[in-house]
Structure 1
Amino acid sequence: MKKEIALWRRKHVLERLGLHTHALRSAWSHDLGHAIAFDAWDHQWQRDAGGAYARYPLRTNGEHYNLAEAVRNPRVGHTRWQRHVDMVLAGERTPHAIVPVAVDPGAKPNRGAKGWLPLALNGHVEFGDDGEVWFCTDRAIMLGAR
């Protein structure tokens, strides 16, 4: 039987990563000074053969984090996300990911998070065939008690 992991509030995950300012509800990515932490939804990850988080779309031509859609229909969270992707691509910050768990993973649009896994993922970016940008996991770190 798989042990259920207690979910945290996003605020606590971000505090563990060094962000001690208020994160807006509309923020999907967070500037930590040395890194950007992207909210990377549990159900949107591509996983490896063992089920571990392998890669996550930062900028694609698909439905998630589509740059053309962000320009056509600007939303605060998406605009900030794309600016943060640009900072990572320019080498100004390193990419990290934190993992929210959706209330209803099948809802379109997403209806919010039940909570965040007490997990930080360190990684790097890779480019896909059509100029897509992916966060690829190098290391997963379980965060200690709050």
Structure 2
Amino acid sequence: MPKNRGAPLLRRKEVLALLGCNEHASRASWSHDLGPCIVFDAWEHQWLPMGEAALGRYPLRTTGAHYNLEESRTNPRRGHTRWQAHVDLVAAGRSAKAIVPVANDPRAKPNKGAKGWRPIVVEGHVEQTSDQQVWFCTDKVVEFPRSGT
């Protein structure tokens, strides 16, 4: 995890504003189209480490429990449908970033809300496996400056 793990959490609205988005993001929005970039809400507890990076890769579309495309087709929910459309955009070449919410209860399925968002943005790229799973892979973690600094 980034060195600011103990830093105060922000509201999603604040994190998105730091990325240049001042539009309202509904609670059903799990991903956000900022024009040249798609920003995904990537839950802290669902990241898989790669090497020494705790935020190594994140599932965008899998055949497993998280962001399963077949599940989104058989049980459509607005957030999931929008997410999958955004995955299509980044798989076609649009750039991607991730913001990191911290779950109230990481064991709950589905998540029961966020305590807040880490004051970071994860810049990365998308990789697609031979079995059509899509992963967001971290290139760089950027910490937002603390207010007043």
TM-based fold match above 0.5: yes
User: What are the within-5 Å matches in structure 2 for residues 1-146 of structure 1?
Assistant: 4-91=6-93, 93-146=94-147
* C-alpha distance in structure 1 between counterparts of 2:84 and 2:137, whole Å: 17
Structure 2 vs 1, CA of residues 44 and 144 (structure 1 numbering), >3 Å: closer, same or farther? same
* C-alpha distance in structure 1 between counterparts of 2:36 and 2:63, whole Å: 28
* C-alpha distance in structure 1 between counterparts of 2:7 and 2:130, whole Å: 36
Name the amino acid aligned to 1:102.
Answer: A
Deviations 1:98-127 (A, max 9, x none): 000000001121111000000101110111
Alignment gaps of 5+ in structure 1: none
Give the superposition deviation at 1:52. 2.5
* C-alpha distance in structure 2 between counterparts of 1:81 and 1:45, whole Å: 17
Alignment gaps of 5+ in structure 2: none
Give the superposition deviation at 1:51. 4.4
Give the superposition deviation at 1:33. 0.6
The TM-score, its normalising length taken from structure 2, stands at 0.92
* C-alpha distance in structure 2 between counterparts of 1:71 and 1:109, whole Å: 17
* C-alpha distance in structure 2 between counterparts of 1:3 and 1:85, whole Å: 28
Does the residue aligned with 2:137 lie in a helix, a strand or coil? strand
* C-alpha distance in structure 1 between counterparts of 2:130 and 2:102, whole Å: 29
Deviations 1:60-105 (A, max 9, x none): 00011011111111100000000001111122x2010000000000
Moved over 2 A (4+): 48-52
Deviations 1:29-54 (A, max 9, x none): 00011100000000000013424311
Percent identity of equivalent pairs: 58
**For the aligned residues, what is the CA RMSD?**
1.4
- Would you say how many aligned residue pairs link Structure 1 and Structure 2? 144
* C-alpha distance in structure 1 between counterparts of 2:52 and 2:129, whole Å: 22
